[in-house]
Amino acid sequence: MSNARTERDADERAPEVGELTPPDRTLMGPGPSDVHPRVLKAMSTPLVGHLDPSFVEIMDEVQELLRYTFRTDNRWTIPVSGTGSASMEAAIGNLVEPGDTMLVPTNGYFGGRMKSMAERAGGEVVEVSAPWGDPLDPVDVERAFDAHQPDVFGFVHAETSTGVLQPNVPELTDIAHDHDAFVIADCVTSLGGVEMRVDEWDVDVAYSGPQKCLSCPPGASPLTLNDRAMDKVLDREERPRSWYLDLSLLEGYWGDDRSYHHTAPITNVYALREALRLVAEEGIESRWARHRSVAGDLKAGLQNLGLEMNAPDEYWLPSLNAVQVPDGVDDGAVIDGLLDEYDLEIASGLGDLEGDIWRIGCMGYSARPKNVEYVLAALEDALAAQGHEA
Ligand SMILES: Cc1ncc(COP(=O)(O)O)c(C=O)c1O
């Protein structure tokens, strides 16, 4: 056989890849969380077309269930195709027009992402400062409004990078509305796990992701806008920079017309529907209570191990427990040990808190006593291996 022939055969040989056998992990990091078996089952349901009359019905059901979960009557409530950053960019990229000013927080990683998105949308960005690990103080927000008169105010309800829950949401939305601004709330790590009442708390736009407290794989991300916010979007002078996330176009698919815009991720919509059905069966308030109770046991257990939480008790975020790494302990070695020896995922700190904290999620289907006992026992062993006694 000639050399040329041998080389061609080698080129044309298909890669040999074995069957998919990922490890069986327990997911207690900042997301994704463990997916409920019913959601996994829904994902193996055969596809219908994204304009099939039966799918149109499923879309209506998902919208109804999302309204329930967000505690809103907003007509404009949809799953955006993509991860949480897609619903985030849909919110910011549509609400912020070139020349608008957006006020964003500095107290965590995701406020920084809001800033980048607002700038890319052509907005001016101003900041309200708070240290990483603190919530925003309404007094500072009011001051920032008086100084800059922003058109849009964004805040992170559940800051995944610090484990801090933003309290006083109605106070913040009142300040913004007294200044005629719109409020965008990042609820990626709170929706379905931590109290959030979009209508009662007067939030104009809220977005989330499915892979946290909803325990659904990423891919279709909740977004809701009230009529006032949607009117601003529909009255824009300049079209949003993203075609894909232009809500005036997405209205054609998710609104009354149900006409083609893009091919919806059908399997992810099935999954979200099942995840939201689980929320409705449990009852949203019971679900919030379960997260507080199970994560409360996790927090108490961590403190029993001699660990300190990053957030003070008043701002503790049940869905994301940020724990300080004790002096002399190698945070990465603990994370690797838990993964290798226990098939257990927790995460390191992000941004300013890298190396200082571990982030232990307690979300959705992962927020179960069994998971909490497992993480506490495994962590106790991993810490002992590093010479840290509880
Ligand atoms: C608070 C917050 N906002 C936005 C995002 C972005 O979501 P995704 O990673 O699904 O794009 C995340 C992801 O962890 C988050 O925690």
Give the residue-averaged pLDDT of 300-307.
97
Q: 58 Cβ partners below 8 Å, 6+ apart? A: 269, 270, 273
Taking the whole predicted model, whether its pTM rises above 0.85 is answered as yes
Question: Among 323, 359, 93, which Cα is nearest to 229's?
Answer: 93
Indicate the top mutation candidate among 188, 345, 348 to test ligand 1's pocket, ranked by most ligand atoms within 8 A of CB.
188
Q: Which fold has domain 26-32+284-384?
A: Aspartate Aminotransferase, domain 1 (3.90.1150)
From the CA of 95, how far away is ligand 1's center (Å)? 19
Residue 155, amino acid: F
Domain residues of the chain, as ranges? 26-32+284-384, 37-281
Query: Is 26-32+284-384's fold the same as 37-281's?
Result: no
Cβ-based burial of 111 (10 A; exposed 0-12, middle 13-18, buried ≥19):
buried
pLDDT at 9 over 70: no
Q: Which of 63, 8, 25 is nearest to 253 (CA)?
A: 63
Q: Cα(84) to centroid of ligand 1, in Å?
A: 5
pLDDT at 390 (0 to 100): 77
Quick check: CB of 90 below 6 Å from ligand 1? no
Q: How far is the CA of 216 from the centre of ligand 1 (A)?
A: 14
Confirm or reject: Cβ of 189 under 6 Å from ligand 1: yes
> What angle do the packed helices 284-304 and 266-282 form, to 10 degrees?
90
Reported as a single tens digit per residue, the pLDDT across 200-250 is 999 999 999 999 999 999 999 999 999 999 999 999 999 999 999 999 999
Is 88 a pocket residue for ligand 1 (Cβ < 6 Å)?
yes
- Measuring CA to CA, how many Å separate 233 from each of 42, 89, 227, 275, 293? 34, 13, 10, 29, 40
CB of 188 within 6 A of ligand 1: the answer is: yes
13-26 pLDDT, tens digit each? 899 999 999 999 99
CATH code for residues 37-281:
3.40.640.10
Q: Is the CB of 204 under 6 A from ligand 1?
A: no
Instruction: Kindly report the protein residue whose alpha carbon is nearest to atom 2 of ligand 1.
Output: 188
